A and B are shown apart, each in its own frame.
Chain A
């Protein structure tokens, strides 16, 4: 249960992805086959997509998958490298929390002067709820990854490397990643 909760963004994202892909596909079929255009389908798909992207960004943080340049940092002594990365990650936390906090301002502004989405007639506030949620989650994920690394000694995996490993494993079981320079990503 806790493990499932730990991957909440992942599950939510897969659901949202399925939703907007299905909506867009139905829209194509309706238009090409029946000549019907329904504006609300595209709009709903777009809003699902917005949620998907920001939750996906939090999920990518959980996997420590965000692109960064760190080859040169990894050459430094271990403690120093960890210190520098902790420092920039704390800036990241501050940035995320600022956005999360400020998005509440935007939501209250939208509550004061509502915006009805053109096709569905929904208040845009519902779409904007993703910002406090996703940016808070993102800050939490940054701290979680740092905690696991510095306190529990669990190095964050490298998702790109994992991808490569999956491919290589499929090819031959004895293939090691020998000689592969570890480059920050």
Chain B
């Protein structure tokens, strides 16, 4: 039996690392009875399209940003709230054990997909071409690209930047031509996209931890034998741990590469302020959408915030 996995990024990305490990594990655990085939680089379409295809059963697995699942399962949006996750430890805690089971139940019920594994893709760090950003004041008026995501748009607005929503293929030229001053993405993405060629400053902002689950359509999952399901879930969990190690080592290499090419990196002197604005101005706007204030508070409590 052959299973197809679709993903948006190329094979040498962190998505590729996770998917390749997942492939090895599934094939190993099933003694080669289950084969996995990878289709990187968006060959099988956009992330949204791939999610649809897993729901229908046309595609077996899709590796996608959690943000692309939230239109189907708004409650997963809790994970994308600014400063919901503030460290790697938070990200791991939120995606293993009882919390992982909770998200999976939501995804199965609302989106029709089963979550097999989580890829830890690190914080989205802010880059720009104008000035070093070390405090909230430095951010004022900067034109920052955000994906089509209401929460990120509202967050930058609350902080006093000018967020502009722009589709991904246009970002590089947009930065280069000055349509936008900056954008945010994890170190590995920033480096593989060669943003160092058009961006001079990088700031470590910890408001958005990028999580990318591997999902399988519930229909497909339910058709599998118990044994096959167990193999897939186990391979997913083991690959997840491998992905975390990969992230921790590769992100610092990517950053070193960017710095070697002239990017100045900085940390925030007043991240407390950024956090409190997010809490006061952004969270209340989205409680209703992500399943109520209570459940979000519970998540925060479970993470010890």
Closest to A36 in B: B162
In the complex with contacts A118-B148, A119-B150, A35-B162 CB distance below 8 A: yes
Contact A109 B162 (CB under 8 A): no
Interface string of B227-264 (1 = CB under 8 A from A): 00000000000000000000000000000000000000
Residues of B within 8 A of A89 (CB): none
> Counting CB contacts under 8 A, is A66 at the interface?
no
Contact B55 A113 (CB under 8 A): yes
- Contacting residue for A113 out of B110, B148, B163, B166, CB 8 A: B110
Residues of B within 8 A of A117 (CB): 71
Q: Give CA–CA (A117, B150) in the complex, Å.
A: 10
What is the interface size of chain B, counting residues whose CB is below 8 A from a CB of the partner? 18
Closest to A124 in B: B71
The size bracket of the interface on A is 10 to 19
Closest to B147 in A: A118
Closest to A37 in B: B164
Contact residues of A between 100 and 149, Cβ < 8 Å to B: 106, 109, 112-119, 121, 124
Residues of A within 8 A of B153 (CB): 39
In the complex with contacts A115-B72, A117-B71, A119-B148, A37-B165 CB distance below 8 A: yes
> Counting CB contacts under 8 A, is B143 at the interface?
yes
Q: Give CA–CA (A106, B53) in the complex, Å.
A: 11
> Counting CB contacts under 8 A, is B111 at the interface?
yes
Residues of A within 8 A of B71 (CB): 115-118, 124
Q: Give CA–CA (A37, B153) in the complex, Å.
A: 10
Closest to A41 in B: B165
Contact A113 B112 (CB under 8 A): yes
A13 to chain B, nearest CB (A): 24
Q: Give CA–CA (A121, B70) in the complex, Å.
A: 11
> Counting CB contacts under 8 A, is A42 at the interface?
yes
Q: Give CA–CA (A35, B143) in the complex, Å.
A: 8
| Given A37-B163, A37-B166, A106-B56, 5 more pairs with CB closer than 8 A | A35-B143, A37-B162, A112-B112, A113-B72, A115-B72
Taking Cβ atoms with an 8 Å cutoff, the residues of A that contact B are 31, 35-37, 39, 42-43, 106, 109, 112-119, 121, 124
Taking Cβ atoms with an 8 Å cutoff, the residues of B that contact A are 55-56, 71-72, 74, 110-112, 143, 148-150, 153, 162-166
- 8 A-B pairs with CB atoms under 8 Å apart are A31-B164, A35-B162, A37-B162, A37-B163, A37-B166, A106-B56, A113-B111, A116-B74
